[in-house]
Every structure is written in C-alpha cells, then in structure tokens.
Amino acid sequence: MAKIDLNGELQQIYGMNVRRAQVLEKELGVRTPMDLLQHYPYKYLDRSRFVSVGELDNELAHVQLKGKFSAPKLRQNGKRQWLVADFTDETGSVEVVWFKALDWIQRMIRTDVEYVLFGKPGRFGSKLNFTHPDTTLLEDYQARGASLEAVYNTSETMKKAGLHSKAVARLIENVLREMPGLPETLGAELLERMRLPGRAEAVRELHLPSTGQALGQATFRLKFEELFYIQLSLLRQMGARKARSRGLVFEKVGQKFNTFYNDFLPFPLTGAQKRVLKEIRRDLGSGRHCNRLLQGDVGSGKTLVALMLMLLALDNGFQACLMAPTEILATQHRDSLRGLLGEMPVRVELLTGSTKAKERARMLEDLASGQLDIVVGTHALLEDRVVFQNLGLVVVDEQHRFGVAQRARMWAKNEETPPHVVVMTATPIPRTLAMTLYGDLEISVIDELPPGRKPIATAHLYDSQRLRVFKLMREEIGKGRQVYVVYPLINESEHEDFQSYKDLNDGYESITRAFPPPQYAVSVVHGQMKPEEKEKAMRLFAEGKTQIMVATTVIEVGVNVPNASVMVIESADRFGLSQLHQLRGRVGRGAERSFCVLMTDHKLSADARKRLGVMCETNDGFRIAEEDLKLRGPGDIEGTQQSGLPMSLKIADLSRDGQILEEARRQAGALLEADPKLEHPDNQVYVRQIERQRAGRQRWEAIS
C-alpha cells in the first residue's frame, strides 16, 4: 500500500469522502492529513475498569461491562419502532435499547460471542437500561490493548456528515497506520537532555495512548514544542534587532528633566515609577535601540513616566511624540501633559484627523523645523507628510489597538537611526501571556499606585436593589461628586441572547426620571454619536457641568475625571473581567473614596458569578488578569495575527501551562546563547521548522 502524503489531500485517507473533507475544512480548518493529526483530543475515557451488571446504578457516569447479547427483538408503538436486547454477565442482565439503524443492528449483533459495552446507565420505569451504547467485540477490544480512549470535539454539522468523535478517531487511526513517519522538529541533544519522546511517538500516544504515563509524556512534549518555537522566534527577533539596530544615545539628564523633577512633580514618584524610569533610562543611554513595553494598572502613573522620558529626549536634542488610538484619548493626553508641565517652556500640540487645515500646516512646518517639542496624536501621525526634524522617542498608548505595520511607519520617521519606542498598556497582562505576546520586548511593570489612592469599594447588587444604588448616587452628587452609568447596549436588542440586558436608551429615560432637571444634568455618550457630539458630552462632564454620564464602553479609554466617584455597570455579567476592571478604573482617580456597583439580574451563570466575585474581592489588576486568563483562556490573542509568529496553539494553554512556557523560554535562550544564528549542523532542524511555520507570513521582526 502506498504511504499517505501528510501534506496532500484529505481524500487519500481511507474512510474519507468529498462531503467529509469539505465539512472538516469548513468546521475545523483541516485541509491535509497533517492538519487532522493536529486535531487533538479534548479528553480521554478510561476504558480499563469493568463493572458487573449487579453493580449498576443509574447515578453512575459512563461504565464498561463484559458479556453477551440476546437476539435483538423489534418493538413497535404506532409508527415508532425500536430494538431491545438483554446484555448478560454472570451477575445478571440489563436491557439495551436502539432507536436508530435498526436493520444494521439486527444484522451485526451476534449472540455467540462476548462484547464490551460502554455507556451511561439510565432508568425507564423500574428497569435499568442502556440506550445506543458503544459496543465492541471483546476480541477487538483486547487486540487494541489501549485503556484510554480519545474523545474529539465535533460540531452538529460534523455529526450530520457522520463525523462524530469515533468516526474522527477512526480517520486519525487510518492516517497513523498509513503515514511514512513524521519529521522530527526538536534536536537530538534537546530531546535527550529533557527526556522527551520523539515527535512521531508523541503524536501516536496522544491519539492512541498506551498508558496514562506515556500520554502525560507525549502531552508535555507537544506543548513544550509549541511554546518553544514561539519563544525561539521571539528571542531570535530580539537578538537580531539588538545586533543590527543602533540606538540614539540619550547621554545626559538635562535642564528640562531636572526642572520638572524638582519643581513640577505633582507627587513623589512611587518606588515602581523610579525603578521603571531607571530601567528605561539605561536603555536610552546604552547605544542600543530601546523597544520596551510599559505595563501599569489604571492610575499607576504611566503618563507621568512617559512625560519624563520625553523630557530626556528633549534634553538630548530630540523631539518626542505620543500616539493614542482615539481622538478623545489623544486630547486627554495633550491636556494631561500640558497640565503636568505647567509654565515650563515645552511646546505640546495635538494632531488628529479633526485638526483644522491651517493649524495642521503650521504644526507640520514647526515639526519639520524642530520648533515643536512634543506632538500627541492619533493615526494622523502616520501620514507621510508628518515629518520630524529629529524624532528620538515614540510613546504608543494602548498599543494593541495599532497594527504592527502602522507602528513600523513610525519607525521610519527618523531615517538614519530609528527612534526609541515605549509601548504602554493599562491592561495588566499575566506573565505567561506577556512572555508570549511581547517576548521580544523588554518589559517594565509599574505595580504600585501613587500615595493617597484609596481602593475602590466594589459591590454586586441585583436589579431589585436599584433604589439603594440611586440613594448612593444622590449622596455622592450631594457631596459634589459625579457618576458614570455604563450599559452594554445602545438599543434594546432583538437577539434573544441579549434580551435580558439593559440598554442605554431605556436606561437614560429611567435615570432622567429618577434624577430630573434642573436639579440634575445628565450627559449621554455612545459609539454611534458623531465625534464632535461625543467630545462635547465628555467635555461637559469633565468640566462638572453634568453630574451623571450615561454611556456605553466607549468611555473605557476616555475621559479622566478625578471628581467622578461612582461607577454603575448595568448587566455587568455581559462584560469580561478585564473590561470590568478597565471601567472601574474610570473612578478612584481623586483622593476621595470611590464606589463601583455591578448590577445584574438574579439569573446568572456560574462563570458570571465567579467573575463578579473576583471583582468584589480585589482591586489588583494583575490578579484580575490572571483570573480572566483562567476563566476565558487566551482566545484569539490580540495583535498576533500580524505578528508573523507561530501563535496558533493547538495543544498548549497559556492559562495552565506557565511552567512549561518558562522552561521553553529557558531552553530557547540557552540554544541561542550557544549558537545565536543557528548555524551549527545539529541546529538546522530548528531553522527548517521555523521556516515551515512562517512560510508565507510577512515578517515584522524589527517592530515592537
């Protein structure tokens, strides 16, 4: 028999047909036999233990029995037909029922041989029974020898095409039987040092485990391989960038930095801010290019650190820019920087899509001539006509909202030597995720809040307790404070999945009834408003002219109002943990005690209750991020589609496999330390696998 081509068509596989191949491609993205081998089981059934008929109970989960069938008998009620047979061992008999494929069952069931029956016992009236159990000839069961049976994820469409879990398992067995072998993807020295099974053995064990121990070793090996290649790619990128990219040298701490530090700091720097400044200053003065991720929870003082870094650039004769994803956020940053700088002779301007033509022309001229020190902007900064005289530092805020290609264009703004790059995020990222997403960046973390910040008191209340919420809102407004009320939807949804969720339009009406004018003033902000309308509503709230802002999550990154002390989140079960944490971070920005109220219906899923419980227990963004990763999994990790990294994890799980990831990074680092360019003959296996994984992808090694 000709061996199967693992990279060829699916229809080579015995048991495959055109319909099944089409369904596998549509439902799972499986196009080749190799793809099918990488559709890994999601669980295993233990087929090692047998129970007797006498031990059966309908409370038991799936069980396995050994015995013989009586001849199946046809029963009928009107048009409905079914088959019934007794399954007997030395302790008694149990009834087995079939409702489908009756002719086939009657032909196939033999009464003279022993079978292994596997299924969930049920009860009909006073009798125990099995409905459509899995049946295998004892002889075939013993020949197979495996005690663990793989179970595969399938969809309804797959089942309609006959691709239930067992059918998928049979197709995979056919591939394993007919394949010529699998090319090894890890070097012999690494396999020996880590005592890992070979790739072919690991794949076979994962689908057809011989023992629990062998399955464990195979699973570890395949998870390690996935994570190893991600880390190897990232570390190679980092090494290549460091080797080839000279960095601008910020040699001195000059007058602007010192004046600001001595006379304009709004509060003493926290230990974390000092540590991060020291780390990044070391980069900026090293002669190597700085490419760093600055992580910090909402309110941790990232903008202050960014400004001090920009002042370092100015002191060394360079310009700086800060890029934000929205006009609202860019405007806020411009205002924050100007507020922090006070009377210092540092010119900060804003460039967005809304900047008037005359003002834009003047600004572009001043940027090109070096008269403009710091420019804050949106995607408008990426335009070719935006030319700097001497750009030294680019700060990118909420960097996951910018594509890699867009960030690459900022690099090209300084032709001879690219500007240093600091990317900021207010979304705390668990270590395992940060090592995977940003493993080619140095990472700095501000994990301390400035003094005077009080934890935000968070409570979960039900819709029936709304009067308590209105009472809190009135009390806080009476003290001169302000309130956010956030909704997941703008209009009532016709989609049945969302019909129980509160919507902004209905909410606005109930808020204005409970808080009528002229005593109270309410702003409304949502994503369907024109930018100038949004801007006006946010400005009214920021200036204290409205006391309540009714909004959707458009305010997740938006106005900074230290006077706001209450955040009410309606249908809070609709939001993920990190989004709830971001919304909560809109309050608690002043010295006053602040409150976050999570409102829901009584009917909640177990997951939603857990999310809301975590929010009430802690204000620590990093702990929340870890919990979010455990609950949700990494999902479609933001930013990776354009990264050129082998990020499609088929077996590893970043929420559970942190230790394997750490080991993978250690081993990848050791390999590159010994052979940075992977030139040694023994290391060509890694070069080949990297090229296979990255074939056809755009390369973005040089960009953060």
* pLDDT at residue 412, rounded to an integer: 74
Token pair for residue 496? Answer: 């049945």
Confidence of residue 400 (pLDDT cuts 50, 70, 90): low
- Tell me the per-residue pLDDT of 259-313, one tens digit each, with 9 for 90 and over: 999 999 988 999 999 999 999 999 999 888 888 889 888 778 899 999 999 999 9
What are the chain's domains?
A: 1-47+146-211 (no CATH), 54-145 (2.40.50.140), 255-446 (3.40.50.300), 457-618 (3.40.50.300)
* pLDDT at residue 41, rounded to an integer: 94
Average pLDDT on 68-78 reads 91
- Tell me the per-residue pLDDT of 657-684, one tens digit each, with 9 for 90 and over: 888 988 999 999 999 999 999 999 999 9
Ramachandran region of residue 646, left (φ > 0), alpha (ψ -120 to 50) or beta?
beta
Beta-carbon neighbour count of residue 136 at 10 Å? 15
d(CA 199, CA 55): 42
In the predicted structure, residue 183 carries a pLDDT above the cut 60: yes
Per the model's pLDDT, the better-predicted residue between 241 and 610 turns out to be 610
- Tell me the per-residue pLDDT of 469-490, one tens digit each, with 9 for 90 and over: 999 999 999 999 999 999 987 7
Per the model's pLDDT, the better-predicted residue between 108 and 320 turns out to be 320
In the predicted structure, residue 510 carries a pLDDT above the cut 70: yes
* pLDDT at residue 628, rounded to an integer: 83
In the predicted structure, residue 403 carries a pLDDT above the cut 70: no
Per the model's pLDDT, the better-predicted residue between 307 and 526 turns out to be 307
Per the model's pLDDT, the better-predicted residue between 462 and 531 turns out to be 462
d(CA 4, CA 696): 25
In the predicted structure, residue 436 carries a pLDDT above the cut 80: no
Confidence of residue 169 (pLDDT cuts 50, 70, 90): very high
Confidence of residue 556 (pLDDT cuts 50, 70, 90): low
User: Dihedrals φ, ψ of 652, to 5°?
Assistant: -70, 155
In the predicted structure, residue 702 carries a pLDDT above the cut 50: no
d(CA 569, CA 541): 18
In the predicted structure, residue 114 carries a pLDDT above the cut 50: yes
Say how many Å lie between the first and final Cα of the chain, rounded: 50
Average pLDDT on 622-649 reads 60
In the predicted structure, residue 647 carries a pLDDT above the cut 70: no
Per the model's pLDDT, the better-predicted residue between 632 and 399 turns out to be 632
Side chain identity, residue 118: F
Name the average pLDDT for the chain: 86
Nearest partner of 270 among 501, 86, 446, judged by Cα: 446
Nearest partner of 397 among 358, 427, 360, 423, judged by Cα: 423
